[in-house]
Amino acid sequence: MRRLRRGEDRSADAPAVLARDVHKSYRGVHAVRGVDITVRRGETFGFLGPNGAGKSTTIAMMCTLVRPDSGRIEIAGYDVVRDGHQVRRRLGLVFQESTLDTDLTTAENLTFHADLYGMPRAVVAERVASMLDLVGLRERRDDRVATFSGGMRRRLEIARGLLHRPRVLFLDEPTVGLDPQTRAEIWTYLRRIAEQEATTVFLTTHYLDEAEQCDRIAIIDEGRIVAQGTPAELKSVIGADRIALRTDDDAAAVRVLRDRFDLAATAIDGGVQVQVADGARFVPVLCSGLDVPIFEVTVTRPSLDEVFLHYTGRAIRDAPGVPAG
Ligand X SMILES: Nc1ncnc2c1ncn2[C@@H]1O[C@H](COP(=O)(O)OP(=O)(O)OP(=O)(O)O)[C@@H](O)[C@H]1O
Q: What residues line the site for ligand X (CB under 6 A)? A: 26, 29, 31, 49, 51-57
Q: Cβ neighbours of residue 129 under 8 Å, at least 6 residues apart?
A: 138, 141
Using only C-alpha atoms, the chain has a radius of gyration, in whole angstroms, of 24
Q: End-to-end distance of the chain based on CA atoms, in angstroms?
A: 45
- State the nearest-atom distance from the C-beta of 221 to ligand X, in Å: 9
> Would you give the distance in Å from CA 80 to the centre of its chain?
22
Angle between helices 150-162 and 121-134 (to 10 degrees): 140
- State the nearest-atom distance from the C-beta of 29 to ligand X, in Å: 5
Nearer to ligand X, 56 or 86 (CB): 56
Question: Any idea how long the chain is?
Answer: 325
d(CA 61, CA 96): 16
- State the nearest-atom distance from the C-beta of 49 to ligand X, in Å: 5
Nearer to ligand X, 55 or 153 (CB): 55
Cα–Cα separations (whole angstroms), residue 21 to 37, 63, 68, 119, 210: 9, 17, 10, 35, 27
Across-strand partners of 174?
none
- State the nearest-atom distance from the C-beta of 22 to ligand X, in Å: 12
- State the nearest-atom distance from the C-beta of 214 to ligand X, in Å: 17
User: Residue 306 CB: number of other CB atoms within 10 A?
Assistant: 18
Nearer to ligand X, 54 or 302 (CB): 54
- Specify whether the CB–CB gap between 29 and 210 falls below 8 A: no
Q: Cβ neighbours of residue 55 under 8 Å, at least 6 residues apart?
A: 47, 48, 49, 172, 204, 220
- Specify whether the CB–CB gap between 46 and 170 falls below 8 A: no
- State the nearest-atom distance from the C-beta of 312 to ligand X, in Å: 11
Nearer to ligand X, 26 or 112 (CB): 26
Nearer to ligand X, 29 or 81 (CB): 29
- State the nearest-atom distance from the C-beta of 65 to ligand X, in Å: 11
Nearer to ligand X, 217 or 290 (CB): 217
Give exposure, 166-190, as e/b (b: 16+ Cβ within 10 Å): bbbbbbbbbbbebeeebbebbbebb
Nearer to ligand X, 24 or 242 (CB): 24
- The answer to whether the Cα torsion of 247, 249, 254, 259 is positive or negative is negative
- State the nearest-atom distance from the C-beta of 314 to ligand X, in Å: 12
Nearer to ligand X, 26 or 295 (CB): 26
- State the nearest-atom distance from the C-beta of 26 to ligand X, in Å: 3
DSSP state of 249: -
Nearer to ligand X, 53 or 178 (CB): 53
